[in-house]
Amino acid sequence: MPILRRFLVLALAASALVAQARQAYGGEIAPELETLELRHKALAETKRLLGGLGASEQKRLVGLYLAFDSSASDPSAMVACDDDGDYVIVVSDAMLRLLSLVARAQSYDEANGSRAIEDYATFVARSQVAGRRLLPPPPGFFTAPLPGTTQDTRLREALAFVLARELTELRGGALVCAHPTATHEHGDDEWTVAEQQRALESAASVYPSRAIDHDTEATVRVLDSGRGADGALGILRFFAQVEIERAARASRFVPTYVVHHPGAAARVAVVQNAAKEQRTP
């Protein structure tokens, strides 16, 4: 299908590099290749979601692809048009890293009945410095009686939700790009500073309209793709705690994602309700 062509090329390339890295390091990925692994998983989840679009939607959004903002400090995800007029979903490396860390915290919460997600969110909210690389949990944070075993599952679920949420914006016509095409351009492999600036400018008119409807639809699409909703609830718990810290004036940490998608606590309820209705015969 044309809309998947770019993802097949990029995913195959990323898969080959990750496989080489694992072979070279005896089954472990070197720390410097962690971002590559996370991007590879994001591409895989995008492919799953796009495969669930109807023929007419694939035709309208032809050429839609996933781009990566190299920012390591600002968790963000947004829709945009690139320099060639193609549809694009842009996710920052900081968001990918955050999703991975929150998924690990969630796996420990599930094993131990703890609140590691909220603890990590509080730590980041109070300690993160704007423009600096996103802080990981402090040393010894992941020490608990029982190890977490669901990290990869929760990560993929969270990735699916974040991507599906942006896809709903494009399906709903919140953004119209000038010249969508199935042709892969060389420049599509690099998300430029100029493209990022234009994306931020257009975001002001895209978000956060119809938030409840879009969260509901995103949850349904995640479930239809074969993923669960627990990962979505995990990342929303993180942002809900960040917003609590901001309301208490204990934090100045304002990720772009929170600016575009506020009200994380209310979003938790929306996702829970959508998942419940989807499970009801």
| pLDDT category of residue 27 using cuts at 50, 70 and 90 | very low
Q: Of the candidates 226, 80, 232, which has an alpha carbon nearest to the alpha carbon of residue 167?
A: 80
Q: Determine the average pLDDT of the residues in 247-252.
A: 93
Instruction: Report the alpha-carbon distance of residue 262 to residue 273 in Å, rounded.
Output: 18
Is pLDDT of 12 > 60? no
pLDDT digits (tens, 9 = 90+) for 181-231: 888 666 666 788 899 999 999 998 899 889 999 999 999 999 999 999 999
* 78 beta partners: 90
pTM, two decimals, is 0.88
Q: Using CA atoms, how far apart are residues 33 and 222, in angstroms rounded to an integer?
A: 27
Per-residue pLDDT, averaged over 2-31, amounts to 48
pLDDT tens for each residue of 87-111: 999 999 999 999 999 999 999 999 9
Q: Measured in Å, how far apart are the chain's first and last C-alpha atoms?
A: 32
Looking at the chain, the whole-number percentage of residues with pLDDT higher than 70 is 86
Helices 5-24 and 34-51, axial angle in degrees (round to 10): 150
**pLDDT band at 4; cut points 50, 70, 90:** low
Give all strands (DSSP E) within the chain, no chain letters.
65-69, 77-81, 87-92
